[in-house]
Amino acid sequence: MEITEKAPAKINLGLDVIGKRSDGYHELDMIMASVDLADRVTVREIPEDDVIRIQSSSSFVPLNKKNHAYKAADLLKKSFNIKKGVEIYIDKKTPVAAGLAGGSSDAAATLRALNLLWDLKLSLPELAKLGEQIGSDVPYCVYGQTARVTGRGESVRPITNPKKSWVILVKPEFGISTPDIFRAVDLAEISHPDIMALETAVAMADFPEMLAQLGNSLEAISIGKYPLIEKIKQRLLDSGADGVLMSGSGPTVFALCQQEKKARRICNGIKGFCDEVYLVRML
Ligand X SMILES: C[C@](O)(CO)[C@H](O)COP(=O)(O)OP(=O)(O)OC[C@H]1O[C@@H](n2ccc(N)nc2=O)[C@H](O)[C@@H]1O
Q: Which stretch binds ligand X (CB under 6 A): 79-87, 177-185, 197-205, 275-283?
A: 177-185
Q: Is 131 annotated as a binding residue?
A: no
Contact residues toward ligand ATP (CB under 6 A) are: 61-62, 66-69, 90, 96-104, 106, 137, 178, 248-249
Q: Is 250 annotated as a binding residue?
A: no
| Rounded alpha-carbon distances, angstroms, from residue 145 to 25, 161, 195, 206 | 24, 10, 17, 18
Looking at residues 6 to 35 of the shown chain, list those that interact with ligand X (rule: CB under 6 A).
12, 15, 25-26, 28, 30
The whole-angstrom separation of Cα 231 and Cα 141 is 29
Strands 147-151 and 155-158: antiparallel
Residue 268 Cβ vs ligand ATP, minimum distance, rounded to whole Å: 25
Neighbouring C-alpha atoms within 13 Å toward the C-beta of 77: 15
Name the phi and psi angles at 166, rounded to 5: -75, 150
Nearer to ligand X, 135 or 251 (CB): 135
Name the phi and psi angles at 74, rounded to 5: -60, -40
Nearer to ligand ATP, 44 or 262 (CB): 44
Q: Is 103 annotated as a binding residue?
A: yes
Nearer to ligand ATP, 62 or 224 (CB): 62
Q: Is 155 annotated as a binding residue?
A: no
Looking at residues 98 to 127 of the shown chain, list those that interact with ligand X (rule: CB under 6 A).
101, 104
By a kind-dependent CB cut-off of 5 to 8 A, residue 19 interacts, out of ligand X, ligand ATP, none, with none
Q: Supply the DSSP string of 202-230, one letter for each residue.
A: HHTT-HHHHHHH-EETTHHHHHHH-THHH
